[in-house]
């Protein structure tokens, strides 16, 4: 049981053909729900925070909370910066005990992405911290940057090899059709598994054996949870996520880390809305936040068992 980095997790996940869940956190209930869910499944996990989550909760608070709940639950977990926008944010996270960071330079021109990622990798590795980077552009919204579907670009496999070679990055987030947020597809979900396979094969041929690939924008957006939100006053229309079987397929390939935030937000919102509607006389936050926490824990357990396959990964 410890706050660890992702190296061992990814090695075991690659070999075991499963993926580790990376769930976004920004408050105590979410941290507890995820780690309790992981503990119930004897699974390792990754807790990650975006820049806006860091601004919301503070890096010291997040780190202290994660460390305490890891001790209480006995889970092996990494604390990871999600979509780090610059070296400055990376430094703040490393100073505050994060064990893994992402630098997301995917919106820069290729050479600039390489140069900026390399700078982050050099700094992080000198401090014993692993780095994830991104190549290709996902559609959707992250930290107020909105990339619409026509500006999304899938990851080029040859460029992926060049990128990993030149930056020394430890894992790579790729664009193969997933997108951030609750509105992922207009029609049917479609992921480019052939591209994923070629990326992995080319990395392997270049000497990057069992190289861990990361899938962002992987929430399932369960229609039952959307219905619950809407039943109790929500107005979430046309939301659609990634089907579980596609994520299972990716986890059986080179994908070792699967990111989910939207599903947590939806579960929390559904729990709170239901609680408010069913107990309008109540006003103790522990009541409705407790219901939301249970909903998130159940969600995480379901993801680990039915989607990620990381059950018993702490053995």
In angstroms, the CA 77 to CA 98 distance is: 11
Task: Determine contact, residues 196/229, Cβ cutoff 8 Å.
Answer: no
Q: Does 219 bind ligand G3H (CB under 6 A)?
A: no
Q: Does 308 bind ligand 13P (CB under 6 A)?
A: no
Q: What, of ligand G3H, Zn ion, ligand 13P, none, does residue 218 touch, CB below 5 to 8 Å by kind?
A: ligand 13P
Where does the chain have alpha helices with state H? Answer: 7-16, 28-40, 51-57, 59-73, 87-95, 110-126, 157-167, 193-205, 223-231, 244-252, 262-278, 285-302
Which does residue 260 bind out of ligand G3H, ligand 13P, Zn ion, none, counting CB within 5 to 8 angstroms by kind? ligand 13P
Considering only 134, 142, 263, 301, the residue that binds ligand G3H (CB under 6 A) is 142
d(CA 152, CA 148): 7
Taking CB under 5 A as the criterion, the residue among 116, 216, 257, 303 binding Zn ion is 216
* Rounded-to-integer distance, Cα 122 and Cα 38, Å: 32
Contacting ligand 13P within 174-203 (CB under 6 A):
180-181
| Catalytic (active-site) positions | 82
- Nearest-CA neighbor of 33 among 264, 287, 216, 266? 264
Q: Across-strand partners of 240? A: 183
Write down how long the chain is. 315
Do strands 145-147 and 140-142 pair parallel, antiparallel, or not at all (unpaired)? antiparallel
**Is residue 170 involved in binding ligand 13P (CB under 6 A)?**
no
What's the min distance (Å) between Cβ of 268 and ligand G3H? 13
Kindly write out the interface string for residues 12-31 of this chain, putting x where it contacts ligand 13P by CB under 6 A and - elsewhere: ------------x-------
Q: CB 81 → ligand G3H: shortest distance, Å?
A: 11
Residue in 9, 57, 3 with CA at minimum distance from that of residue 257: 9
- By CB under 5 A, tell whether 257 contacts Zn ion: no
Task: List interacting residues with Zn ion (CB under 5 A).
Answer: 216, 259
Query: Which residues make up the interface to ligand G3H (CB under 6 A)?
Result: 24, 50, 52-53, 82-83, 142-143, 180, 261
Give residues in contact with ligand 13P (CB under 6 A): 24, 82-83, 180-181, 216-219, 259-263
């Amino acid at each position: 049981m410890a706050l660890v980095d992702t190296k061992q997790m990814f090695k075991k996940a690659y070999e075991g053909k499963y993926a580790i869940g990376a769930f976004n956190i920004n408050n105590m209930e979410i941290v507890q729900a995820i780690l309790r869910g992981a503990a119930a499944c004897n699974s390792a996990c990754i807790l990650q925070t975006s820049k806006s989550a860091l601004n919301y909760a503070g890096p010291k608070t997040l780190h202290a909370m994660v460390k305490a709940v890891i001790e209480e639950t006995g889970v092996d977990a990494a604390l990871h910066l999600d979509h780090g926008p610059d070296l400055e944010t990376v430094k703040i996270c490393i100073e505050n005990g994060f064990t893994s960071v992402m630098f997301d330079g995917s919106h820069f021109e290729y050479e600039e992405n390489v140069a900026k990622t390399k700078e982050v990798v050099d700094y992080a590795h000198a401090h014993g911290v692993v780095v994830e980077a991104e190549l290709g552009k996902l559609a959707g919204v992250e930290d107020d940057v909105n990339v619409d579907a026509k500006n999304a670009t899938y990851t080029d496999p040859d460029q992926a090899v060049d990128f990993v070679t030149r930056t020394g990055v430890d894992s790579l987030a790729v664009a193969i059709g997933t997108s951030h947020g609750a509105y992922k597809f207009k029609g049917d979900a479609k992921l480019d598994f052939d591209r994923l396979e070629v990326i992995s094969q080319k990395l392997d041929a270049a000497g990057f054996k069992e190289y861990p690939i990361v899938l962002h924008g992987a929430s399932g957006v369960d229609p039952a949870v959307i219905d619950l939100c809407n039943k109790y006053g929500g107005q979430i229309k046309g939301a659609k996520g990634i089907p579980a079987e596609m994520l299972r397929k990716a986890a059986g390939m080179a994908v070792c880390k699967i990111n989910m935030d939207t599903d947590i937000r939806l579960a929390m919102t559904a729990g709170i809305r239901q609680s408010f509607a069913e107990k309008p006389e109540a006003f103790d936050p522990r009541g409705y936040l407790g219901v939301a926490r249970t909903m998130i824990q159940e969600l995480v357990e379901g993801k680990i068992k039915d989607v990620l396959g990381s059950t018993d990964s702490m053995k």
